Structure 1
Amino acid sequence: MTARVTAAASDWTRPKYGAVFRAGLALAVLGVLAAASVLVGATGIGWSSILSDADAREVLMVSRMPRTAALVLAGASSAIMGAIVQRLVRNRFVEPSTMGTVDCAGFGLLMGLLFLPDAAPMARLALAAAGAWIGTAMFLLLLRAVDLRSPLMPPLLGIAFGGIVGSATSFIAYRYDLMQSLFAWMTADFSVVLQGRYELLYIAAGATALGWLAADRFTVLGLGDDMARGLGLNPALVLAIGISITASVTGVIVVTVGFIPFLGLVVPNIVARWRGDNLRRSLPLVACMGASATLACDLFGRLIFHPYEIPIGVTMGVLGAVVFLWLLLSRQAR
């Protein structure tokens, strides 16, 4: 009997079964966090009250379900964009918030607030996406103009570039008394998510799905331009597709809920330690872990000072900074 148990346990250590076990565990954690997100809030509701109380059902459908859906969509999309960008740039320490993409999206959004104050959400989305696309392209051009001997150079360059754009954005917003509006747009906060105010995130989900379909091309491009050409790819075209997908998703998330810092940096790095650099294999787990991390940080922000809330941009920023330092120190040690 003991030998059978030992043999069964050893089977789960094999790569095939280990992958299935990790996938099942990740989905189970995501399901538990999603259920907790639906039930936790300033107004507590339970499964029994949902069945018997009309007001509880209204809270569920108007507030809790949309918020949970927004958290899952934004978290999964942000994490996948981080993984794609890291393959395009060939650097583990970049993501949209450390390469100026988010700051440029904010600049495009500010231009919309200045010149098109009554614009529809889709127009604001287009301006934010256009700003993100231009900013990402400028960052890639800057990378070609500097010496990249250190792997820390791209994120440092991106942070400096984003800081310049962000400072200019803040200065313009201050001059035109738009600081409060800009802060509200750029700070990741899901407390304002209600039914009818998050559906743009489905556009981000569609663009993210396109990124998953092109995952093999991004993986090959990460091996170098010469390798990509040798395998029949056009590196410039694949790069343009990756930039367009990243800019679209970033613009949608900034306009809808505000971009979540560090999420696209830490989750792909953690998953890459388990699954390697093949995006086709790793992106489902990246999406699941990104959504779970977003749900967990949002729940923490809701519970620590209940019934008040801390924006997820604060909780994820603190957690992401700690994990980022751990990644840097562990890489240096190796």
Structure 2
Amino acid sequence: MTRPLPAMIVVMVLLMIVSVMIGAASFDIFAAGSDPWTTMVLMESRLPRTFSIVLTGAALAVAGMVMQQLVRNKFVGPSSTGTTESAALGLLGITIFVPEAPIWVKMIVASLAAMAGTALFMALIRRLPPREVMLVPIAGMILAGVIGAVVTFIGWQTDLMQYIGTWLMTGEFSGVVAGRYEVLWFAGAAAAASWFAADRFAILGLGEGVARGLGLDPKPVMRLGLVVVSVTSAMVVVSVGMIPFVGLVVPNIVSRVMGDDLRRTLPVVAVSGAVLVLACDILGRILRYPYEIPVGTILGVLGSVVFLILLYRPPRTA
């Protein structure tokens, strides 16, 4: 049996090279060391954009896997449970009351708001019948719609709709340059930290009663999972806007192929998420070259089709 991780890493590296080469500005990459123009384009635009895409895809995919373990449901993700909308609500609040706040303050406020929204979703689904699996994503979408409506209403009243569009409707990387994407490294670090607790997340996914029976205290693991999901979602919203479906479809596809061993599958999930977002961003750049289609639009169409396939095609049984 071939190992998927090395193959996915090769695909990711190839797509990163393609991403660096595509753009409205043409240059000779082999002259990067001697031509100041080429060096500037690479260091200020192409490489930051490519790194931000990889970090976003990997972090969102891992956050989706962690969230699915926390709520024990394969049909949820950060973009469908109110997490990203809560992060936008926190950003909106700090923008209204402290508009001159530095980026790290906005990052903290957005993360706390995303954590509160995720905790609210988890509190709501505890009241649902345990056997009604499909009620969980429906509740998440309703909560996301309510929070999104609150964000839109406040943004309309305060004349901040342009910000709302950037956070919740854009999902694109054309504005990423050096100095405007570095907070995504925090999202990558939060996603990487989840690998060290992969076994605990897997045990928690069996249920709190089973976890306690195996000697695991669920509360610290739950808090760690909330931090991973909220920090990742907040950093992505702050940097590039809402990116849909990555945290939903990638964990499902990988788990169907490789099983539910989180320690083994989390690296594959991260690389697969990066590959998916890279491929969609490249597609969005070449379909109407030299203009761009936002990656959020490409993922919205592709992700909905893949999600419907996953929904109506049950996993194969051994």
Deviations 1:89-138 (A, max 9, x none): 11100011111111111111110111111111111111111110110110
Q: 1:259 aligns with which of 231, 242, 265?
A: 242
Report what 1:122 is aligned to. 104
Deviations 1:156-190 (A, max 9, x none): 10000110010011011001110011211332111
So what's the TM-score if we normalise by structure 2? Answer: 0.96
Report what 1:139 is aligned to. 121
Residues of 2 paired with 1:52 and 1:318: CA distance? 42
Report what 2:66 is aligned to. 84
Report what 1:229 is aligned to. 212
Q: Give the AA of the match of 2:307.
A: F
Residues of 1 paired with 2:49 and 2:171: CA distance? 13
Q: Give the AA of the match of 1:107.
A: L
1:215 equivalent in alignment to 2:201 = no
Structure 1: gaps spanning 5 or more residues: 1-14
Alpha carbons 2:29, 2:38 under 8 Å: kept: no
Report what 2:88 is aligned to. 106
Kindly name which structure, 1 or 2, has the bigger radius of gyration based on alpha carbons: 1
Specify the SS of the correspondent of 1:240: helix
- Aligned CA RMSD, in angstroms, stands at 1.5
Q: 2:160 aligns with which of 171, 174, 178?
A: 178
Cα deviation for residue 49 of structure 1 reads: 4.0
Specify the SS of the correspondent of 1:93: coil
Q: Give the AA of the match of 2:128.
A: V
Structure 2: gaps spanning 5 or more residues: none
1:22-37 equivalent positions in 2, closer than 5 A: 22-37=4-19
Alpha carbons 2:256, 2:315 under 8 Å: kept: no
1:1-334 equivalent positions in 2, closer than 5 A: 15=1, 18-19=2-3, 22-186=4-168, 187-331=170-314
Specify the SS of the correspondent of 2:112: helix
Deviations 1:222-279 (A, max 9, x none): 0111221122111122111111221111111111111310000010000001111111
- Say if 1:154 and 1:206 are closer, same or farther in 2 by CA, change over 3 A: same
Q: Give the AA of the match of 2:273.
A: G
Alpha carbons 1:148, 1:154 under 8 Å: kept: no
Specify the SS of the correspondent of 1:252: helix
Alpha carbons 1:76, 1:290 under 8 Å: kept: yes
Specify the SS of the correspondent of 2:243: coil
Alpha carbons 2:59, 2:188 under 8 Å: kept: yes
Residues of 1 paired with 2:313 and 2:167: CA distance? 35
Residues of 2 paired with 1:283 and 1:292: CA distance? 14
Provide the identity percentage. 44
Residues of 2 paired with 1:80 and 1:234: CA distance? 22
Report what 1:12 is aligned to. none
So what's the TM-score if we normalise by structure 1? Answer: 0.91
Q: How many residues align?
A: 316
Residues of 1 paired with 2:47 and 2:133: CA distance? 41
Does 33-42 or 184-193 show the bigger shift? 184-193
Report what 1:6 is aligned to. none
Alpha carbons 2:60, 2:273 under 8 Å: kept: yes
Residues of 1 paired with 2:131 and 2:26: CA distance? 54
Residues of 2 paired with 1:93 and 1:194: CA distance? 34
Does 49-58 or 189-198 show the bigger shift? 49-58
